[in-house]
């Protein structure tokens, strides 16, 4: 089928002509004035011509009419792109060449003197497509007769721990084999086997993606971006352009919501290619709210097939899992979600026999990428419901079943390593106690049913084995401190934690600390990415290392001055003190100008600058056939959520009465922020459980607006949101700390599902648990049409 798409519209999934869903509202003069203040009158604007088809071949592309429009400065296409880019798998060009693979795939970019003019010109770009058969389901996508979406997969550059299957739509196949699963089934008294489905959802940050790029006359590129990954963006974009990272600079101020959507590279590279066409001019590109839903990363969909068996005493014996990840058109980031799901497949349980295949599958859906939880909410949706059903079959209390089987210090994980001290059992016990587990509560009305459920979880930082952090500590003349870091502030409190760690490590008041910003790859110390709930742990260790370096310099200086040993010295409240002589000296007297020699023959010392870095050196490779290795990850954070809810039998609506979260964070450096993360995770977890689904009809997004895509509001909050901090120290964390940013939304969905099953006897295996779905399930249970 060959189809020409002209300037005004593209076909809808129902065959009608509908207005372009990326149409822009008019940009006001005030907005233009604001842009001029920051970037000057040379600022230009970009708009993107996007594919109207899930899968098609580009037969002809004519940009002449767009270029002829007065005020249009340039049009870029795939011909302007040198190499593919990607974090773990280089599988995409910035602008498409030859083929489009999802609705919204960038085909061309128009640069003009205003955003409205760029939009108008984008409608003049003519593209002729040959529509191809799409892949719309990951299970169908792995079949031999499925259309091949990336025929050149064998030529793609890939990380050493990612295993694509050439000649298929499988971009990564993670295998895990422990024990003898097939033999173990005969030892099981109870076996539960189920299939679960998780849809795509959107991150919906309040601030959409927006970026400005400029290439100066020397060829250096500067990119201003709302980004969780300034250094990764610099590296990936530079590599795709054949440039040195030295010649690409990324400046990233505070981020207005990320949740993973602003990690890696998505639309930022578009602005860079466009800016190269108009040297000396900054080019601004932003996603509309509609584009944000399907042109930025979405959370990957999942089909999970789980089979678990236990013996008559309630001990887990065997587990077999198949994960089919709906990873979308490009999986350069999503392949690592598949890997993380594979090595985490058992949940926080001690299972002696495990067989898992985790497949990352190309489909013609929006690009799947990182979202808060990084695959763990999706896999725990099935794991924790299956465990509940096993306990039911055994006639065991569900808390007792979990306490009997959860990992404890020294337990052997599915990958063959011994687990570090971990407080999952304590978390489960505390959450259950707080929700009055075992006590049947009465409902608030005759047509409402009340029930309780719980779910436990674990999650490791999913990252390469050599992801590093660095930090700089620089004293000012008055001994106040500027701390340079590369970790980004997303609203999660990373910079507050950084200031706390710096102050405590140096021995100065916290109000002496200022975090240098914005993050700027030309001046800020290196940070891999602000993802994986690793910043407190990894960046925190780098700050401590920098503080130790600064203290060493100070102690060496003062020890020489006082003729003492550094071991006798300390810094308290901004004063260097000696435990031996009881002398003291304010830091402001020495950290910049040094100290005068006693014979007035000169000065010693000079500006104190502490340098620190951290990179774990103990994460091992895993066997590609078995997934076994000495240490798969740096550590796991574990926890539990318990839910008390009511379901209205007349509407199907679920109301969360109480949610209790208990997580082992190692050490709560800032308890208020830890509790805030738990509370926020509950709300976002409940939103994705009860309300959210990016609806795709034959690959076409049909609810790409807040009118049709509902997220939780204050009306959807739990009546009580209770947070419990458990502290089992991590051996390599700052004061024992581990991350908690993502974990609190991991067990929410299965805890709600288990509470629904307790209340109404309904076991729903597909998300979301919308009022409509629950209502229909209630009617079906009662035998009603």
Residue 200 burial by Cβ neighbours in a 10 Å radius (0-12, 13-18, 19+): buried
3-state secondary structure of 516: coil
3-state secondary structure of 520: strand
Helix (H) or strand (E) holding 276: helix 268-276
Ranges for all domains in the chain classified under CATH 3.90.1170.50 = 39-132+206-257+262-294
Number of DSSP helices (H) and strands (E) in the chain, helices first: 17, 36
Q: How many CA atoms lie within 13 A of 751 on its CB side?
A: 34
Helix (H) or strand (E) holding 751: helix 748-760
Q: Give the pLDDT score at 638.
A: 98
Share of the chain above pLDDT 90, in %: 94
Q: State pTM to two decimals.
A: 0.95
pLDDT of 11 over the 90 cut: no
Q: What is the CA radius of gyration of the chain?
A: 28
* b/e per residue 345-383 (b: at least 16 CB within 10 A): bbbbbbbbbbbbbbbbbbbbbbbbbbbbbbbbbbbbbbb
Q: What is the mean pLDDT of residues 680-694?
A: 98
Out of 3.40.720.10, 3.90.1170.50, 3.40.50.300, 3.30.420.40, which CATH number does the structure's domain 39-132+206-257+262-294 have?
3.90.1170.50
Neighbours of 14 (CB within 10 A): 10
Taking CA 512 as the corner, what is the angle to CA 510 and CA 518, rounded to the nearest 5 degrees? 95
CA 45/CA 626 separation, integer angstroms:
51
3-state secondary structure of 574: coil
Q: Give the pLDDT score at 36.
A: 65
pLDDT in tens, 260-290: 999 999 999 999 999 999 999 999 999 999 9
Confidence band of 3 (pLDDT split at 50, 70, 90): low
20 or 51, which is more confident: 51
Rounded alpha-carbon distances, angstroms, from residue 497 to 372, 501, 549, 662: 19, 6, 19, 21
The set of residues, in sequence order, having a beta carbon less than 8 Å from that of 634 and lying 6+ positions away, is 460, 461, 534, 537, 616, 618, 619, 732
Q: Give the pLDDT score at 277.
A: 98
Question: Class of the 301-393+408-463+621-781 domain?
Answer: alpha beta
Q: Give the pLDDT score at 32.
A: 55
Q: Give the pLDDT score at 546.
A: 98
Q: How many CA atoms lie within 13 A of 718 on its CB side?
A: 26
pLDDT in tens, 118-127: 999 999 999 9
Beta bridge partners of residue 453, listed in sequence order: 643
Q: φ, ψ for residue 355 (rounded to 5)? A: -135, 120
pLDDT of 570 over the 50 cut: yes
Confidence band of 438 (pLDDT split at 50, 70, 90): very high
Confidence band of 31 (pLDDT split at 50, 70, 90): low
Q: φ, ψ for residue 214 (rounded to 5)? A: -145, 135
Q: Give the pLDDT score at 246.
A: 97
pLDDT of 25 over the 70 cut: no
Give yes or no for a contact between 119 and 283, defined as CB atoms under 8 angstroms apart.
no
Confidence band of 35 (pLDDT split at 50, 70, 90): low
Confidence band of 33 (pLDDT split at 50, 70, 90): low
15 or 91, which is more confident: 91
pLDDT in tens, 303-360: 999 999 999 999 999 999 999 999 999 999 999 999 999 999 999 999 999 999 999 9
Q: Give the pLDDT score at 37.
A: 72
The set of residues, in sequence order, having a beta carbon less than 8 Å from that of 589 and lying 6+ positions away, is 595
pLDDT of 399 over the 80 cut: yes
- State the average pLDDT for the chain: 95
Residue 650 burial by Cβ neighbours in a 10 Å radius (0-12, 13-18, 19+): exposed
Q: Give the pLDDT score at 599.
A: 85
CA 201/CA 768 separation, integer angstroms:
10
The length of the chain is: 785
Q: φ, ψ for residue 386 (rounded to 5)? A: -65, -40
Q: First CA to last CA across the chain, in angstroms? A: 41
Closest listed residue to residue 654, CA positions, set 749, 783, 780:
749
Neighbours of 710 (CB within 10 A): 16
Ranges for all domains in the chain classified under CATH 3.30.365.10 = 23-33+467-614, 301-393+408-463+621-781
Q: Give the pLDDT score at 783.
A: 87
Q: What is the mean pLDDT of residues 611-624?
A: 97
Q: Give the pLDDT score at 310.
A: 98
Q: φ, ψ for residue 240 (rounded to 5)? A: -70, -20
pLDDT of 10 over the 50 cut: no
- What would be the CATH architecture of the domain defined by 23-33+467-614? 2-Layer Sandwich (3.30)
pLDDT in tens, 157-190: 999 999 999 999 999 999 999 999 999 999 999 9
Confidence band of 602 (pLDDT split at 50, 70, 90): very high
CA 72/CA 65 separation, integer angstroms:
10
248-252, strands of its sheet edge to edge: 72-77, 106-112, 44-50, 283-286, 210-215, 221-225, 248-252, 519-520
| Cα 516 from chain centre | 24
pLDDT of 80 over the 70 cut: yes
- Annotate 534-546 with DSSP letters as a single string: -IIIIIHHHHHHH
CA 517/CA 502 separation, integer angstroms:
16
pLDDT of 15 over the 50 cut: no
Would you tell me the crossing angle of helices 398-405 and 424-434 to the nearest 10 degrees? 170
Confidence band of 563 (pLDDT split at 50, 70, 90): very high
């Amino acid at each position: 089928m060959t189809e020409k798409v002209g300037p005004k519209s593209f076909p809808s999934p129902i065959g009608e002509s509908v207005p372009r869903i990326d149409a822009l509202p008019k940009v006001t003069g005030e907005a233009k004035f604001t842009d001029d203040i920051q970037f000057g009158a040379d600022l230009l604007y970009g708009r993107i011509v996007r594919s109207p088809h899930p899968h098609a071949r580009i037969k002809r592309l004519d940009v002449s009419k767009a270029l002829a429009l007065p005020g249009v400065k340039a049009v870029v296409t795939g011909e302007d792109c040198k190499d593919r880019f990607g974090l773990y798998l280089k599988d995409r060009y910035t602008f498409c060449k030859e083929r489009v693979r999802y609705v919204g795939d960038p085909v061309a970019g128009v640069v003009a003197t205003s955003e409205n003019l760029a939009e108008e010109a984008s409608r003049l770009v003519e593209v002729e497509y040959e529509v191809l058969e799409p892949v719309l389901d990951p299970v169908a996508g792995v079949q031999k007769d499925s259309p091949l979406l990336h025929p050149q997969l064998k030529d793609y550059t890939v990380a050493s721990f990612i295993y694509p299957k050439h000649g298929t739509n499988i971009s990564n196949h993670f295998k895990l084999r422990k024990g003898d699963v097939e033999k173990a089934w005969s030892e099981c008294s109870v076996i539960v086997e189920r299939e679960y489905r998780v849809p795509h959802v959107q991150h919906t940050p309040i601030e959409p993606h927006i970026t400005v790029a400029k290439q100066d006359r020397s060829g250096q590129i500067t990119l201003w971006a709302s980004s969780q990954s300034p250094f990764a963006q610099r590296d990936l974009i530079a590599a795709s352009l054949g440039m040195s990272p030295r010649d690409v600079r990324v400046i990233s101020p505070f981020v207005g919501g990320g949740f993973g959507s602003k990690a890696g590279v998505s639309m930022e590279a578009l602005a860079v290619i466009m800016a190269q066409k108009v040297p000396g001019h900054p080019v601004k590109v932003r996603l509309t709210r509609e584009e944000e839903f399907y042109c930025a990363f979405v959370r990957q969909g999942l089909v999970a097939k789980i089979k678990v068996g236990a013996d008559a005493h309630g001990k887990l014996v065997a587990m077999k899992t198949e994960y089919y990840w709906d990873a979308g058109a490009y999986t350069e980031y999503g392949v690592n979600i598949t890997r993380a799901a594979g090595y985490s497949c058992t949940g926080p349980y001690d299972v002696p026999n495990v067989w898992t295949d985790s497949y990352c599958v190309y489909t013609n859906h929006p690009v799947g990428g990182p979202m808060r939880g990084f695959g763990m909410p999706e896999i725990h949706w099935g794991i924790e419901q299956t465990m509940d059903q096993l306990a039911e079959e055994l006639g065991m209390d569900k808390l007792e079943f979990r306490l009997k089987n959860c990992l404890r210090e020294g337990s052997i994980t599915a990958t063959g390593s011994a687990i570090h001290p971990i407080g999952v059992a304590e978390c489960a016990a505390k959450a259950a106690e707080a929700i009055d587990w075992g006590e049947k509560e009465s409902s608030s009305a005759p047509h409402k049913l009340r029930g309780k459920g719980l779910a436990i979880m674990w999650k490791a930082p999913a990252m390469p084995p050599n992801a590093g952090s660095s930090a700089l500590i620089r004293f000012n003349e008055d001994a106040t401190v500027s701390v340079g870091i590369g970790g980004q502030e997303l609203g999660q409190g990373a910079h507050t934690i950084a200031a706390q760690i710096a102050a405590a490590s140096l021995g100065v008041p916290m109000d002496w600390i200022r975090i240098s910003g914005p993050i700027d790859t030309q001046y800020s110390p290196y940070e891999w990415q602000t993802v994986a709930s690793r910043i407190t742990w990894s960046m925190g260790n780098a700050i401590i290392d920098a503080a130790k370096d600064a203290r060493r310099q100070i102690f060496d200086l003062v020890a020489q001055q006082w003729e003492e040993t550094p071991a006798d010295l300390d810094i308290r409240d901004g004063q260097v003190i000696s435990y031996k002589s009881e002398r003291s000296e304010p830091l402001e007297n020495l950290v910049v100008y040094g100290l005068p020699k006693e014979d007035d023959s000169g000065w010693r010392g000079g500006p104190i600058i502490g340098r620190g870095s951290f990179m774990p050196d103990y994460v091992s490779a895993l066997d590609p056939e078995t997934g076994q290795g000495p240490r798969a990850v740096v550590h796991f954070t574990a926890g539990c959520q318990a839910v008390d809810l009511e379901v209205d039998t007349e509407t199907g609506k679920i109301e969360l009465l109480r949610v209790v979260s208990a997580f082992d964070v190692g050490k709560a450096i800032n308890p208020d922020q830890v509790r805030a993360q738990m509370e926020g995770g509950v709300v976002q977890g409940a939103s994705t459980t009860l309300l959210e689904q990016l609806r795709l009809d034959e690959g076409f997004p049909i609810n790409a607006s807040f009118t049709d895509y509902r997220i939780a509001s204050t009306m959807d909050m739990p009546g009580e949101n209770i947070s419990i901090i458990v502290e089992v120290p991590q051996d390599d964390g700052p004061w024992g700390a581990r991350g908690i940013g993502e974990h609190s939304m991991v067990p929410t969905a299965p805890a709600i599902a288990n509470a629904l099953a307790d209340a109404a006897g309904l076991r729903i295996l597909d998300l979301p648990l919308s009022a409509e779905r629950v209502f229909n399930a209630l009617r079906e249970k009662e035998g009603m049409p």
